[in-house]
Amino acid sequence: MGQTTARAHEPREPAPPGRRGPGPRWAGAAAAALLLPMASCAADPGTADTADLMSVVADAPEGPVSEWTGTAADFDGHPYVPDGVTVTAAYPEFEGAEGFSQGLSGHVDRRVGDFYGGSREPVSLDIDWEVTAAGDGVLGVRLVHTVEDLHGLRQGYATYWYDAETGLTRYSSELIAGREGLEQLNGIVADALADHPHAGADTLWPILSTYDSMGFNADGDLVVEFDDGHLSPVREGHPPDASPGRIGVVVDADEAAPLLSDLGERARAASALEEPDFAVPVPDAPNADRPAVPGEITAGEDVDCAAEGVRCVALTFDDGPAETTPHLLDLLAEEGVVATFFLNGDPALTRPAVIRRAYAEGHEIANHNDQHEHMRDLPVSALPRQVATVNAIVSRETGYRVTLFRPPFGQSSPEVLAEVGAQEMAQVVWNVDSEDWTEIGPNEIVERVTEQTARADRDAIVLLHDPLPATLAAVPELIGLLREDGYTFATTTQAIGDPVTGAAYPEGRNVPEAASGEPKA
């Protein structure tokens, strides 16, 4: 294959789930799995090169490293907790780095919540750990989570870093210097994976959840790894195939060096120490403000919809992501327009890479319930799962916490609104109905939207559906006419103006007992 500076690992088979108590510990199993042979473009197929693997300095409690362990009983405070699931979780605790313990605790708790809400028929979750670096006031911890559910067994990986200078728990993407550096890294990784047999086109985006596990090997190379199935292409009606297992890319130390942040440089040095140093100094700036995190995207352009003379319009698309959504994203990119996407559970499970793309391109991601149910007809006991599922999927795929919920058909109730508020969201319907769900043509869609938008009291929230070809055909003309009318395109959150948790919007459409008409929203 010739000389390369970024090498893509071939997949391995998933390891079996771990156990707590008597018998082998999962940390040891995870470490052993990483040592299985993985082919590299820089080596003959089937040969192992342990220098390509992320360094590990500890994978069991010893000396200054202790361990917190928990079960499902320790994670019962989530909005939706399925019955009969098994959870075993652990993370290390370091003397003098209590802030890191708190940070790891929060990340583990979020992972459990994403498992509860974002899995079909969940069976078990096991989270274990290993220390990837210790020295110079830097600690690195790699968490390995093994999920079993309706769709089988798969593993995921997330590596977190402690920076004693600030006392902050940092994401792996913070090893890279800013958003531009992460985009450059994404390009290097994309080139390395261009011919990979198990990496689908258009699955790789420079966002937090994609680059959530990075570290260094003994040679100082940057090791990037991806969850089982994260890079797999679409399978209609099914989550992407996780069977290829872990895929990793190794970026040569010299090529990685210009991309590293100050934290990244210190983490690389700590990873290369012959003897780990677990001594952690008191933070220099314990109350330091958290810096911007590469890969965390703020939706929308810089626009103030409340400013005098500004009229905003929010294009919202329900029921995706669908086969048509990438084309819609192309159209929006060509026009430089942001939108809000209200997702359903099964499409979100089938096309997670489309969610990642929409998030990476600055669109707002929102929740349209799991199974597109008439929520007023559901028992109250069914509401938590219907509300939680999309949030968990989006959290897992992007790192973003959803803040808007749209009930299918615009139908809500006091109980639905209460559940939406309990899950820390606001409820949003619309005040402009394109009626594209009635199977009208593109010209009629454009006419109805422009007429209703002109009559809106102020900012317009437009109901559209991205699975409908006629809607996509209408989008370019619709954008052009709205621009001619002086409208500024915004996200739904911007058009509303900081929606309040538990409230219903838009004003005048916030009666939760009913909605006008019954569109296929």
What SS3 state is found at 176? strand
What SS3 state is found at 216? strand
Mean pLDDT for the stretch of residues 64-92: 97
Angle at 53 between CA 1 and CA 355, to 5 degrees: 85
Least Cα distance to 221 among 248, 175, 256 occurs for: 256
* pLDDT at 94 exceeding the cut of 60: yes
pLDDT at residue 63, rounded to an integer: 86
Mean pLDDT for the stretch of residues 302-316: 94
Q: Which carries the bigger pLDDT value, residue 41 or residue 239?
A: 239
Q: Which of 30-34, 112-116, 118-122, 352-356 has the lowest mean pLDDT?
A: 30-34
**pLDDT tens for residues 8-32?**
654 333 333 332 222 222 233 332 2
User: Distance of CA 501 to CAs 209, 408, 414, 421, 425, Å?
Assistant: 25, 19, 14, 6, 5
Which residue in the block uniquely carries the two structure tokens 């890279």?
A: 176
pLDDT at residue 510, rounded to an integer: 52
pLDDT at residue 458, rounded to an integer: 75
Mean pLDDT for the stretch of residues 278-295: 83
**pLDDT tens for residues 207-234?**
999 999 999 999 999 999 999 999 999 9
Residues 206-243 as b/e (b if ≥16 CB within 10 A, e otherwise) read bbbbbbbbbbbbeebbbbbbbbbbbbbebeeeebbbbe
* Structure confidence at residue 281 as a pLDDT band (50, 70, 90): confident
Integer Cα distance of 471 and 464 in angstroms: 7
**Token reading at 420:** 């939406």
Integer Cα distance of 228 and 431 in angstroms: 42
* pLDDT averaged over every residue in the chain: 88
Integer Cα distance of 275 and 273 in angstroms: 5
Residue 457 makes CB contacts below 8 A (sequence gap 6+) with: 431, 508
Residue pair 17/126 in contact (Cβ under 8 Å)? The answer is yes
Mean pLDDT for the stretch of residues 408-429: 97
* pLDDT at 515 exceeding the cut of 60: no
Residue 40 makes CB contacts below 8 A (sequence gap 6+) with: 7, 8, 9, 10, 47, 49, 52, 250
pLDDT at residue 512, rounded to an integer: 53
Mean pLDDT for the stretch of residues 457-477: 94
Q: Which of 75-89, 147-161, 494-508 has the lowest mean pLDDT?
A: 494-508
> Does the global pTM surpass 0.85?
yes
Catalytic member of 9, 198, 230, 465: 465
pLDDT at residue 46, rounded to an integer: 26
pLDDT at residue 372, rounded to an integer: 95
* Structure confidence at residue 2 as a pLDDT band (50, 70, 90): very low
Asked if 136 is an active-site residue, the reply is no
pLDDT at residue 453, rounded to an integer: 95
* pLDDT at 65 exceeding the cut of 70: yes
Catalytic member of 318, 433, 436, 466: 318
The DSSP bridge partners found for residue 149 are 152
Delimit the CATH 3.20.20.370 region(s) of the chain. 311-505
Kindly report the length of the chain.
521
Alpha-carbon torsion (29, 199, 132, 172), positive or negative:
negative
> In terms of CATH, what superfamily is 25-271?
Fervidobacterium nodosum Rt17-B1 like (3.30.565.40)
Mean pLDDT for the stretch of residues 245-268: 97
**pLDDT > 70: percent of the chain:** 87
**pLDDT tens for residues 346-375?**
999 999 999 999 999 999 999 999 999 999
pLDDT at residue 29, rounded to an integer: 30
* pLDDT at 4 exceeding the cut of 50: no
Which CATH fold topology does 311-505 show? TIM Barrel (3.20.20)
pLDDT at residue 443, rounded to an integer: 98
Asked if 107 is an active-site residue, the reply is no
Delimit the CATH 3.30.565.40 region(s) of the chain. 25-271
